[in-house]
A and B are shown apart, each in its own frame.
Chain A
Amino acid sequence: MQLRDYILRRLLVLPILIIGVSIVVFTLTRVGGSPIGIYLSHEMTPSEVAEIQARFGLDQPVWVQYLQWAKGILQGDFGYSGVAAAPVSDIFPLKLAATMELAVAAGCVALFLGITLGTFAGARRNKLPDHITRIVAVSGASLPQFWFGILLLIVFWAQLGIAPIGRSDATIFASIAHPTGLYTIDAILAGSLTAFWDAVWHLILPALTLGYGATAIIARMMRSALVEELQQDYVDAARAKGLAEKIVLKRHARRNALVPTVTVIGLTFGFLLQGTITIEIIYRWPGLGRWMADSVLRGDQGTLMTYVLFTSVLFLLVNLIVDVVYANLDRRVTLGK
């Protein structure tokens, strides 16, 4: 099967999945709770409540509501966020930028640590480093991130008072322009060292907290992949050429072990995306995650729907890309199952 056909087929399935997700999400909000509860208060007479329901088109049959909602989404109208007191589409990009900055930073931490640890362990299978790595990995996967974050805060913020919370020092943040919305980048663009430090300083703890779990995923995969590769003939063949163990490991085994490791990047991405919710709550990071938690607790379902839909689409796309990249990288893989 040609790579092109494979991509095409995946691209064809994508919209079906997205529509499916949108239906699921929409049904959810109509099954329980109240899509408009946030706008109601007890001073309202029943007629007033009806009025609000009309404002949000809740008086129409469900499928009409769905179509209208979907139409809005397609036209870039994601509805109005009661929590943010603004159209979702106004606030979303800002929040997204903040979240992405955090997620990407964490992702980098995870990739670096994960691959290093994984190689370290895989190359020394069943030796001490391997066991240590395994414990790190498993514990990373079992660690309640919100708790880990709180522990770090207890130590570095509450007790030692050296770590900040939030995303920035408001005054410094206000002192520079924000073309990209990514604080670190903006700081560099503005050429302000103080701002850059402020950004990094606020980023470190959350990124570490979030990155730890992801590190576990990658390290685990990397390890098993490497162990797998090290048992392949070509490794012995490379040794038979007289290559140094270092080169055998780096140039041959690890290089190939990275290929299957690519596949978990999609998984890791989802993991990071989820992680931002609690991490942002704990570190008061003004991103999508915390906004979402707010919306959930205050029952702002319009925002919630957009968020779930958006993250799912993002998740799907990333996974698609990952698969394609993987298909490209691995000469052995046969496409389409």
Chain B
Amino acid sequence: MTTIKWRNHLTAALVGGALAFALPLDATAQVNNPGLLVHAADDEPTTLDPAQVEPGEGGETVILQVYDRLLDFGSDSPELIPSLAVEVPSVDNGGISADGLTYTFKLREGVTFHDGTAFSADDVKYSWDRAIEMDLPEGNAGALADVIASSEVVDDMTFSVTLNDPSASFLNSVVTAMVASVVSQDAVEANGGIEAGVPNQYMAGNMVGTGPYKFVTWNRNENLQLEVNDNYWGDNAKLDVRIEIGGDPDVRVLGLRAGEFDTIETDPSFVADIEGADGVTIFKGGLLLEPLHIGMNLNIPEGSLPPEDTISEDFFHDPRIRQAFNHAFDYEAFLNGPLAGYGEFNPHYVPIGLFGHDASAPVYNKQNAAEAERLFREAGVWDEGFSVSVITEEGNLFALMCLVLKDSLERLNPKFRINVLAVAESVFDDAHASNPLEYAMWAKNADPAADPNFYLNAYAHPDGEWGEVHGFGNGYRDAAKIAGLIDSAAIELDPAKRAATYAEIQRELYEDPMWIIGAQEGIVMAHRSWLEGFAMQPLWPRPSLKFSLFDK
């Protein structure tokens, strides 16, 4: 269904392109700046330190290239592959203890850091302990700290970790996380060492890792340059890299068409501008694991709402209203407008493409005005109407999603008012980080992860991260049941049983949604056709590229 829509849109876009001015761009065959890969990035890193970087933030892009982790995802499948560890621990190869608590990693010999020092188990322990000890609130240290009980250096080339509880997702959501990157102990010690709670300014602006790329320079607001690490333990990268920072999406589009850039990050909505340009290939496939969602707050402090809001604090406690919102949202408008047709709708709350996603589970994927009206009437808010504010970061997909919500509801019933507060990133983060949250609704996307448990814990579990903040407990028809299901699935080691449980949860949550999921954004990547070996892995941080694989 969506694909058909998508084609319509595509043709429309092509007509539009034809009507628009023809651009005099040299789409010549010869390769521009050979030996160098120019990537036009969306946003600038705020730090290059694995211990400080925030998941989904620009710095992860660079960290992925310059640092290595013990394990990694291959470019073609979500299967784990060895990296600094020579094999993926498993019960069979003795990497995982019988009780599932102790993981032992055999490390790679003869690896050296970019500063020339040799890599050993000490560095691994140092890197992880560093993150945990610094415990920077903006960073992701929690991912390690929450699960790891202790870690030890068995010998120079063996490193082992003991967990608090058995975890089905330790390897593919913790070991592979950017915060688990291995940094050069000597480099850190030579530049300020570890200080709890205080960012290391050297590490924030420099990188000393073992990865295929060495960090060269970072011209703020302009570009960030990497060079090939010639004595990389694996296959050497072929191209040096320059990451062009900032600029509007369409600057990147033009740059790509002009051949200045080899790969670009851009909203799907700009694909129409690249479609059909010679020398440009568009990579479509798969979906990002970061559903775009709008939160509904069931835990609003007394009288904390913005003055223009007329709703009561317990507005969203009523499941009918939450359902009504889910029915009212104009999914097609969002998919075909801002997302330009690139995306899918996923059930609450398991992204498509992840273990446990049930293709047959019911999904909110179509505006159903009648149903929405019925539910609003039942809930008794149809006649007098209401006004509610939704807060979000300005100038991105989230803001557009809010606008779609606004239009959807206000067209459904003029008595409904949605005030879109599109604020500065910092202001949003500030509001978003406060607990209890002082807004009734907010829009953002989920953080990516490789395991369904992460999502359900964070976005559905009554005692989970958001369950607690949003007070899901006040709203679920049967909170205990949902909690029970999620918990049991988390420790279930038999995949089949686990999948079944998740399927049930997805049905439960359809009846009792805690989010409005605008869509699961599709992956679209445009690059020059002269680029060889292009590959994407959604489990890698945005833009999910490893430059070392490319050549031209």
Minimum CB–CB distance from B242 to chain A (whole Å) comes to 6
CB nearest neighbor in B for A90: B205
How far, in whole Å, are A84 and B54 apart by their CA atoms in the complex?
15
Given contacts A82-B46, A86-B201, A91-B220, contact A298 B424 (CB under 8 A): yes
B496 at the interface (CB under 8 A from A): no
Given contacts A38-B425, A297-B424, A299-B425, contact A158 B204 (CB under 8 A): no
Asked if residues B242 and A85 are in contact (CB atoms below 8 Å), the reply is no
Asked if residues A33 and B426 are in contact (CB atoms below 8 Å), the reply is yes
How far, in whole Å, are A40 and B393 apart by their CA atoms in the complex?
14
Given contacts A52-B138, A83-B44, contact A40 B221 (CB under 8 A): no
- Looking at the complex, which one of A34, A52, A161 makes contact with B427 (CB distance below 8 Å)? A34
Q: Which residues of A contact B246 (CB under 8 A)?
A: 284, 290, 294
- Looking at the complex, which one of B44, B204, B254, B426 makes contact with A299 (CB distance below 8 Å)? B426
Give B423-448 as 1s and 0s: 1 = Cβ < 8 Å from A's Cβ atoms: 01111111011110000000000000
Give A266-303 as 1s and 0s: 1 = Cβ < 8 Å from B's Cβ atoms: 00000000000000000010100011001011111000
For the complex, count residues of A whose C-beta is within 8 A of B. Answer: 48
Q: Which residues of B contact A42 (CB under 8 A)?
A: 429, 432-433, 469
Asked if residues B430 and A34 are in contact (CB atoms below 8 Å), the reply is yes
Asked if residues A40 and B48 are in contact (CB atoms below 8 Å), the reply is no
A165 at the interface (CB under 8 A from B): yes
Given contacts A40-B433, A84-B220, A294-B221, contact A158 B427 (CB under 8 A): no
CB nearest neighbor in B for A161: B24
Given contacts A51-B137, A85-B45, A85-B204, contact A38 B429 (CB under 8 A): yes
How far, in whole Å, are A91 and B201 apart by their CA atoms in the complex?
13
Asked if residues A49 and B434 are in contact (CB atoms below 8 Å), the reply is yes
Give A137-171 as 1s and 0s: 1 = Cβ < 8 Å from B's Cβ atoms: 00000000000000000000011110001110011
Q: Which residues of B contact A197 (CB under 8 A)?
A: none
- Looking at the complex, which one of A82, A87, A159, A174 makes contact with B24 (CB distance below 8 Å)? A159
Given contacts A34-B426, A91-B220, A284-B247, contact A48 B137 (CB under 8 A): yes
B380 at the interface (CB under 8 A from A): no
How far, in whole Å, are A38 and B54 apart by their CA atoms in the complex?
11
CB nearest neighbor in B for A287: B221
Which residues 497-550 in B have Cβ within 8 Å of A in the complex? none
How far, in whole Å, are A55 and B196 apart by their CA atoms in the complex?
11
Q: Which of A34, A52, A95, A159 has the largest number of chain B CB atoms within 10 A?
A: A34
Which residues 16-54 in A have Cβ within 8 Å of B in the complex? 33-34, 36-46, 48-49, 51-52
Which residues 194-224 in B have Cβ within 8 Å of A in the complex? 197-198, 201, 204-205, 219-223
Asked if residues B426 and A300 are in contact (CB atoms below 8 Å), the reply is yes
Q: Which residues of B contact A87 (CB under 8 A)?
A: 201
CB nearest neighbor in B for A280: B221
Asked if residues B426 and A286 are in contact (CB atoms below 8 Å), the reply is no
Given contacts A158-B23, A284-B251, contact A41 B205 (CB under 8 A): no
Which residues of B are at the interface with A, using a C-beta cutoff of 8 A?
21, 23-25, 33, 36, 44-48, 54, 59, 137-138, 140, 142, 197-198, 201, 204-205, 219-223, 225, 242, 244, 246-247, 251, 254, 258, 394-395, 424-430, 432-435, 465, 469
List 26 A–B pairs whose Cβ atoms lie within 8 Å, in order of A's numbering: A34-B426, A34-B427, A36-B426, A37-B424, A37-B428, A37-B429, A38-B46, A40-B426, A40-B430, A42-B469, A43-B465, A44-B138, A46-B434, A46-B435, A55-B198, A83-B44, A85-B47, A85-B59, A85-B205, A86-B204, A86-B220, A94-B219, A158-B21, A170-B222, A286-B219, A297-B395
**Given A37-B428, A51-B197, A161-B24, 14 new contacts (CB under 8 A):** A33-B424, A39-B138, A43-B465, A52-B137, A82-B46, A85-B46, A86-B201, A86-B220, A158-B21, A158-B254, A286-B221, A290-B221, A298-B424, A300-B426
Closest 7 CB pairs of A and B: A299-B426, A37-B426, A48-B137, A37-B430, A34-B430, A40-B433, A286-B221
